[in-house]
Amino acid sequence: MTRVSFFGFRKSTAGGTPTVRDVRADRGFLVFENTGEVLQAERLLTEQGWEIRVMGPPPEIRQGCDLVIEFPLVEELQILRILTAAKLSPLRTVPVTSPLLQPVDIFQIKDFGRWLMVRAANMKLTVDKETTVIVNVSGGGCPDVPYLAASLVGQRLTVAPAPREIGHTLCGYALQLAYEEVRRRCSV
């Protein structure tokens, strides 16, 4: 198994932050360029019924008199898609309980000869190198994973929907990273 970094930085650990037993362990912060974008994003997401709130950032990510939006972290992919469509992409997203945590930053590659498997975080995508058909999606635990698998398996990389277009969760986000790496390795 080969491991390669897919982010250009090493992750940090948060010191003195709450543990995952915090009541908001499933929440994240959306960090924006300025307060105006925070307020626009708040209005947009509230109108669509999302459970969010505007608040001051924790010290680890505070930049000044700024605000952040607390949101359901697991549903990050869906929320980012909404914000990007409205040209309100956040600078970054971080877990509430450990704001300095970064997404998993390694790929694991396994070559089965005719087939290539790429794993990103907890998601694995396997492709037939000869036909570029996606043959399996494995791993993950959020409910969009079986849906993504049903949508992608059997499709060529050139026509398969990107997980970020139809997924909703952090598992979908991890699958997107694996999908991008497979495309890169298959020169698609």
Partner 1 sequence: MLCVAGTAPTDDFPLTVGEVRLGGEELVVGSSSLAVNRGTTALLAAAAATATELGKPPPVACLVGDTGTGKGSRKLYRHLTEFLPGASFGTMVFHYLQPIVHWQRKLQEVLGRLHPRPCLIADAGFMYAAKMSGAATLYDLFTPDAGELAFLADEEAPHPFYTRGFILHEENRVPDLIARAYRHGNAARYLLVKGRQDFLADAGGILETVDSPVEEALEAMGGTGDTLTGLVSALIDAGMDIRAAAVAAMRANRLAGSLARPTPATQIGEIIGHLPAALREVLAGPEGL
**Contacting residues toward partner 1, per CB under 8 A:** 3, 10-11, 13-14, 17, 19-21, 23-26, 72-75, 78, 95-98, 101-106, 110, 112, 114-115, 117, 119, 121-122, 124, 126, 128, 135-150, 153, 167-174
CB atoms under 10 Å from CB of 41, counted, come to 23
Closer to partner 1 by CB, 137 or 157: give it: 137
Closer to partner 1 by CB, 39 or 139: give it: 139
Residue 124 to residue 95: CA distance in whole angstroms: 23
Nearest-approach distance from CB 136 to partner 1, in angstroms: 5
Closer to partner 1 by CB, 37 or 76: give it: 76
Sign of torsion over alpha carbons 118, 90, 28, 105:
positive
Nearest-approach distance from CB 178 to partner 1, in angstroms: 12
CB atoms under 10 Å from CB of 147, counted, come to 14
Phi first, then psi: give them for residue 108, nearest 5 degrees.
-120, 130
Nearest-approach distance from CB 64 to partner 1, in angstroms: 26
Give the closest residue to 155 by CA, choosing from 131, 134, 181.
Answer: 134
